[in-house]
Amino acid sequence: MSEPNLMHHNYDGIQEYDNPMPGWWVWTFAITTIFCAPYIMWYHLGQGPSIHDNYQGELTAYANEVLAKYGELTADEPTIRSFMDNEVAMTGMASVFRSKCAQCHLPDGSGSVGPNLTDTAWINVKSITDIAKVIREGVPAKGMPAWAGKLSETQVALLSSYVAQLQRKSVPGKAAQGTDIGPWPAVTAAPASGTGASS
């Protein structure tokens, strides 16, 4: 009596055996294949958020938590210097920098339309507090927008610290512009939450 699952195909003396995949596996494969078409259309070719968008959203939420943690800060010299070495605060400000500044300065600060922020040369900055002034008032003649009213004073202070610490990275990019003012003075430990707050 012949085996019912044996097929008539014979290759090099080996007779083919009909061993189909389980039905549940076949249907799972078919459903996922059908599902991938609208998924690709929406997330890769359409307006659906990418994994990078989701990541940026998480970083933004983290930045907001950082701002809430430190309360109201004033963008004075001690505050800007002290937060340059605060890894938690600077990680939170990285997303703010990417969303507000990277279009002109690139995500790593190496400069595109705007100047390279990772060298020691500055166009409109003579002291570290001038960074906050440029962020607030912008440089309209050069296309730098003013962020006063769009960023809180705490955001300005921490973003100033983030921009100041970019100088340490010295990323190859746009040629140095302006006056070389040298590296910033040494920083101290970050103040406790609420220290440096304006009244």
DSSP 75-141: --HHHHHHHTT-HHHHHHHHHHHHHHTHHHH-TTS--SSSPPSSSSEESS-SSTHHHHHHHHH-BGG
User: Do the bridges between strand 6-11 and strand 14-17 make them parallel or antiparallel, or are there none, so unpaired?
Assistant: antiparallel
Average pLDDT over residues 63-83: 87
Helix, strand, coil percentages, rounded to 5, for the chain: 45, 10, 45
Average pLDDT over residues 177-188: 79
Q: Quick check: 55 pLDDT over 80?
A: no
Confidence of residue 12 (pLDDT cuts 50, 70, 90): confident
pLDDT (tens digit, 9 = 90+) per residue, 89-134?
898 888 889 889 999 999 999 999 999 999 999 999 999 999 999 9
CA-wise closest residue to 151 among 162, 161, 137:
137
Q: What is the pLDDT of residue 2?
A: 57
Average pLDDT over residues 63-90: 87
Q: Quick check: 164 pLDDT over 70?
A: yes
Q: What is the pLDDT of residue 186?
A: 63
Mean pLDDT computed over every residue of the chain? 84
Q: In which residue are the tokens 């699952």 written?
A: 5
Quote the Cα angle for 122-163-96, to 5°.
140
CATH 1.10.760.10 boundaries in the chain: 51-180
Hey, what amino acid is at 48?
G
Length of the chain: 199
Q: Which residue has the higher pLDDT, 188 or 4?
A: 4
The class level of CATH for 51-180 reads mainly alpha
Rg of the Cα trace of the chain? 28
Structure tokens at 41: 């259309």
Distance from C-alpha of 81 to C-alpha of 166, rounded to nearest angstrom: 12
- Residues above pLDDT 90, as percent of the chain: 47
Distance from C-alpha of 70 to C-alpha of 54, rounded to nearest angstrom: 25
Q: What global pTM score does this model have?
A: 0.66
Average pLDDT over residues 143-160: 93
Q: What is the pLDDT of residue 165?
A: 94
Distance from C-alpha of 154 to C-alpha of 196, rounded to nearest angstrom: 10
